[in-house]
Structure 1
Amino acid sequence: MPAPKKTGRRSLLVTSATLLTLSVTAPAALAAPTPQADPTATPPAHMSQVGGVRLGQSGTQVNLADGVPALPKDLTARSWIVSDAESGEILAAHNAHWQLPPASTMKMLFADTVLPRFPRTMEHKVVPADMAGIGAGSSMVGIKENETYTVHDLWLGVFLRSGNDAVHVLSSMNGGVEQTVQDMQAHAQELQALDTHVVSPDGYDAKGQVSSAYDLTLFARSGLQKKDFREYCATVRAQFPGGTAKNGKGTSTRETFEIQNTNRLLSGDTDVPVYQGIAGVKNGNTTNAGATFTGVAERNGKVLLVTVMNPEKHEHNEVYKETAKLLDWGFQAAGKVNPVGDLVPPKNVAQSTAQPGAASAGTQGTGGSGSKPVASSSAGGGSGGVGIALGVAGGLVVLLAGGAFLVNRRWPLPDLMRRRSRP
C-alpha cells in the first residue's frame, strides 16, 4: 500500500486567555452507571453524559446541515462513534455510552496500562503458572512453556494475533491477573472511562465485563500517544519465535513462524481491501460481544478514530465494512459538521487545567463545539511526539510557564506507516 503524503506537523497553542475549565472530578450525574451483566438489544434510557449531554441519549447523534454529507446507510452496529483523534471532537455517535461486552478491544486498555512497565528487550522464560486461567477457545499466538520470549515478542502476539496467552504471560510479569485487572480498572478511571468494568485483562467473555464505544476510543487515543503502541498496532506481519529443537550434534535451533495482524482494514481480506491511511488499532470477537473494532486512519492531514461495536448484520467482516463507511463519512464531514461532544482528557490533565490562573472559556461535558479536551498519557511511557507538553516530576503535572499548553501535536502516522510491513 503506498504511504500517504506526509503532512507538516501542526500544533495548537492555547494561551491562558483561552484555556478551558475542565472539571477536576466528574459530577455525580456523570458517574459510571452500574455495569450490565447481560446487555440487551435495547440501549438503556439513561446513559453517561461524559463528554456531552447528547452522548447520553440513545440513537444517532449528529448535526446535519447544508454541506454536511449524510451518514452511511445500513449501519447495524449497536454502538459506534466517529471522532477527530487530535482535537477530540466527536463528529457523530450512536449509543456512545452503551455498556457492552468489549471482546479483545479491551486489550487496548491492557496495553496502555502495562506496556510502559517493561522494556521491549527484556526477556522472560515462560513457566506453567504464567499460562494458567486462559479461557477455553481463546485466540492464541502459540507461546510455549519453558521457552524464553522478549517483551517485544509478547506484544506482537497481543496486537497481531490477539493472543490471550501473551496477555497472561505479561499479566504474570505484572504481578498476576488479579493485580493487572486492578491496574487496568484504575487506569480506566484515570482516563475517565467510566463505562468500563474490567474482569479479565484479555477481553475474554466474563460476567459484568463491559465497556463502551466512547471508552474504547479513549483507550485508543491514550495508547496511540505511545510510540511502541503505535508501532505494534500498525504492524501487518512479523516473525514469532517457535519451539526449540535439538540437533544431532548437541546443538539446538529455535524456529520462527509468521504471524499476521487480524485487523482486516490493515491486512486486507477477500471482501475487505486495506483501508487507505489505516494505522491500527484493535479488533475483537467473542460469542457474547459479537464483533468489535476501533480503528485509526489518517488522510489529508486529518486523523480520525472510529469505534464500532456488535453489528447486527452478521455478514463476513461486517464490523470492518461499517468502520470503513464511517471513516469515509468522517473524512468528508470533517471541518463541515459541528461536533456533538468531546473526548474528555484524563483526570490529571483536567486537574492541571483547573488550577488557579487558568482562564475559563467553556465547560467540560456540555457536548458542543465549545468543549475542547486535551490528551495525555497517564500510564507513563514515551509520547513519541504526541500529547501534551507537560513535564511530569514526582507524579505531579507541571504547567508550562505563562499558562500556555501545547496540545494535540500531530502524530507521525505517515512515518509510522512507511516503516511498517506492507501487505
Structure 2
Amino acid sequence: MKIQGTSLLAALCAGAVLAATAVTGGAAAQPASPSSVTTTPFTTPNTDGCPQKTTPPAPVDSSEVPAPGSTTPKPLAVPTPAVGGSRLGECGLVLPKGAPAVPQDISSTAWLVADVDSGEVLAAKDPHGRYRPASTIKLLLAIVALRNLDLDTVVTGTQADADVDGTRVGIGPGGRYSNRQLMQALIMASGNDAAHALATQLGGDDAAVAKMNELAKSLYLLDTRAATPSGLDGPGMSTSAYDLSAAFREAMTIPLFAELIHTEQVDFPGYPRDPKIPEDKDHPGFVIANDNHLLYNYDGALGGKTGFTDDSRHTFAAAAERNGRRLSIVLLQGEVLPIRPWQQAARLLDYGFALPRDAQVGALPSRNGDSPGPTAPLASPPPKDDAAPAAESGNGGIRTALLAAGLLAILALVLYVHRRTSRRR
C-alpha cells in the first residue's frame, strides 16, 4: 500500500469521517428534512385561549382554495364533552397532578404522549386543537390499503403517479411494483407517488379520501378530515394530536405496518426507458431509506411517520419501547428550531417514560369510542436480527463497511509512519 503527501491526509480525513459516521449510527446517510433551515427564531405559540378549537391556522398559500364550482367544507362540529375525557377539552398544557415541568425547546404547537398498549393519555398540549396533518394522514391511507388490497398484487407505474406534487419515492411509467413495495414507499419514504398508486386501486383519489374519512369516523376521530390521500393540503383538511395518536395506535395493530415503520432500508424497483425519448435509458432500481431520524437515534425507537407542508409545518407521529412499556408521541405544527422535530419527540418520550405508571389525563378511544383499550392485539416490529435480508443489508451493513474503511485508513497511517521511520534509521 503506497500513501504519500496529500493522499495520506485525504485517507486519514476520509477514514475519520467514515468511522465517526459508523459510530453515530449512520445518521449522515439519511435523507434531509423537507425543510431543514428556518431563518426566524421560533417560540411555542400559546394555545391557552383555544385559537384552533374549530379550524387550523390560516393557510400561507393557495393550496386550500377550492376548485371552481366547489366550496370549502364547513368546520367539523366540536364534540361536547371532549372525546377521551374532560381534561382533554383543555387547550393549554394538560399534565397529571404533580407532574414535573415539560421539557424545554418544544416548539411544536400541539403534542400528545400516550401509552400504545393501554390507550392512556399521559400528557398533552392542545390535544383537540385542529391542525393540518401533512403526510401523517398517510396513517389512514395505510390502514385502508393494508386492510383492502392484496399485497402481492403487482401494478404498473403510470405517468400520473410520477407527476404528483410533493415528495416522490421515484415510481416511473412502466415500472412494476407490488403493493407491498408501494406500502414500503408510502410508510418509509412518504412517497406521494406511492399514495397515488394505492389510491388508484381504491377507486381513485376521491374514493380513497372517502374511505379514509369513513375510517376516521369509525375510530371516533372527530377532529379529522382528509382532503387528499397523501397529506398535501386541501380544503377542509384537519386533524388533532389526539386523533393522530389514536390513528397511529390503530395502525400499530397491523403487523406489516409495525414492521415497515421499523425498517431502515429496502431495495426498490426501477423502471424502463421511455421509447418516445431517444436519449432515455433504463432506470435501475435503488435503495430507499426510512425518513424518520428518531428510528436511528433514539434507543428503543419503534418507528413512525413524518410530514411537512408549508401550511402544516412539521408533523410527526412515532413510538418507542422502554422496560416493556410502549409510548407514542404526536407533534403538530412544529418547527426545526430550537431543535428538530424528532429531537422534540425524543424529549417528550423521555418525559413520558419518567412519569409514574398510573399518571394519566385521559384515554384514546376504542373502536366504538366508549372506552380505552386496544381495538385489536397490538403488533410489534420484528427484532433487528430477524429482519428481512433487504433490511439487514441497510444501515447495519453500511455501518460495518464504514467502520472497516476507517480502520483501513488507520492501518495505512501506521504502515506509512513505520516505513518513514525505518528509512530515517
TM-score by length of 1: 0.69
Please give the alpha-carbon distance, in whole angstroms, between the structure 1 residues aligned to 2:382 and 2:187.
20
* TM-fit CA distance, 1:38: 2.5
Please give the alpha-carbon distance, in whole angstroms, between the structure 2 residues aligned to 1:226 and 1:189.
19
1:298 aligned residue (321, 325, 332): 321
Matched, 1:89 2:110: no
Matched to 1:218, the amino acid is A
Pairing of 1:165-314 with structure 2 (within 5 A): 165-244=193-272, 255-267=284-296, 274-312=297-335, 314=337
2:91 aligned residue (53, 58, 66): 58
* TM-fit CA distance, 1:101: 0.7
Matched to 1:81, the amino acid is L
Pairing of 1:383-422 with structure 2 (within 5 A): 386-387=377-378, 411-413=379-381, 415=383, 418-419=386-387, 421=392
* TM-fit CA distance, 1:139: 0.2
* TM-fit CA distance, 1:128: 3.5
Please give the alpha-carbon distance, in whole angstroms, between the structure 2 residues aligned to 1:154 and 1:254.
17
Matched to 2:149, the amino acid is F
Residue 363 of structure 2: aligned partner = 342
Unaligned runs of 5+ in 1: 3-32, 41-45, 247-251, 268-273, 351-363, 365-371, 378-385, 388-410
Matched to 2:351, the amino acid is W
Matched, 1:139 2:161: no
Pairing of 1:95-114 with structure 2 (within 5 A): 95-114=126-145
Residue 10 of structure 1: aligned partner = none
Please give the alpha-carbon distance, in whole angstroms, between the structure 2 residues aligned to 1:282 and 1:416.
19
Matched, 1:79 2:79: no
Matched to 2:58, the amino acid is D
Alignment deviations for residues 284-313 of structure 1 (CA, whole Å, 9 cap, x no partner): 011111111011111110000110112256
Contact 1:278 1:297 in 2 (8 A): yes
Matched, 1:319 2:287: no
Residue 400 of structure 1: aligned partner = none
* TM-fit CA distance, 1:146: 1.7
3-state SS, counterpart of residue 242 of structure 1 = coil
3-state SS, counterpart of residue 331 of structure 2 = strand
* TM-fit CA distance, 1:242: 1.1
* TM-fit CA distance, 1:121: 1.5
Please give the alpha-carbon distance, in whole angstroms, between the structure 1 residues aligned to 2:105 and 2:158.
48
Please give the alpha-carbon distance, in whole angstroms, between the structure 2 residues aligned to 1:243 and 1:313.
35
Residue 375 of structure 1: aligned partner = 374
Report sequence identity in percent.
Answer: 32
Matched to 1:330, the amino acid is G
Contact 2:262 2:381 in 1 (8 A): no
Please give the alpha-carbon distance, in whole angstroms, between the structure 2 residues aligned to 1:171 and 1:80.
29
Matched to 1:51, the amino acid is G
3-state SS, counterpart of residue 383 of structure 2 = helix
Q: Aligned Cα RMSD in Å?
A: 2.7
Contact 1:309 1:319 in 2 (8 A): no
Pairing of 1:33-72 with structure 2 (within 5 A): 35-36=55-56, 38=58, 49-65=82-98, 68-72=99-103
Matched to 1:332, the amino acid is A
Contact 1:130 1:172 in 2 (8 A): no
Please give the alpha-carbon distance, in whole angstroms, between the structure 1 residues aligned to 2:235 and 2:118.
35
Please give the alpha-carbon distance, in whole angstroms, between the structure 1 residues aligned to 2:293 and 2:79.
31
Matched, 1:120 2:148: no
Contact 2:115 2:122 in 1 (8 A): yes
Matched, 1:163 2:187: no
3-state SS, counterpart of residue 245 of structure 2 = helix
Alignment deviations for residues 45-77 of structure 1 (CA, whole Å, 9 cap, x no partner): x87610011111110011242xx5442123221
Please give the alpha-carbon distance, in whole angstroms, between the structure 2 residues aligned to 1:47 and 1:57.
13
Please give the alpha-carbon distance, in whole angstroms, between the structure 2 residues aligned to 1:85 and 1:290.
25
Contact 1:47 1:98 in 2 (8 A): no
Please give the alpha-carbon distance, in whole angstroms, between the structure 1 residues aligned to 2:85 and 2:354.
23
Contact 1:36 1:208 in 2 (8 A): no
* TM-fit CA distance, 1:206: 1.6
Instruction: Please tell me whether Structure 1 or Structure 2 has the larger radius of gyration of its CA atoms.
Output: 2
* TM-fit CA distance, 1:118: 1.7
Structure 1 runs of 4+ aligned residues shifted over 6 Å read none
Residue 422 of structure 2: aligned partner = none
* TM-fit CA distance, 1:280: 1.4
3-state SS, counterpart of residue 243 of structure 1 = coil
Unaligned runs of 5+ in 2: 1-21, 24-52, 61-77, 275-280, 396-425
Matched to 1:142, the amino acid is G
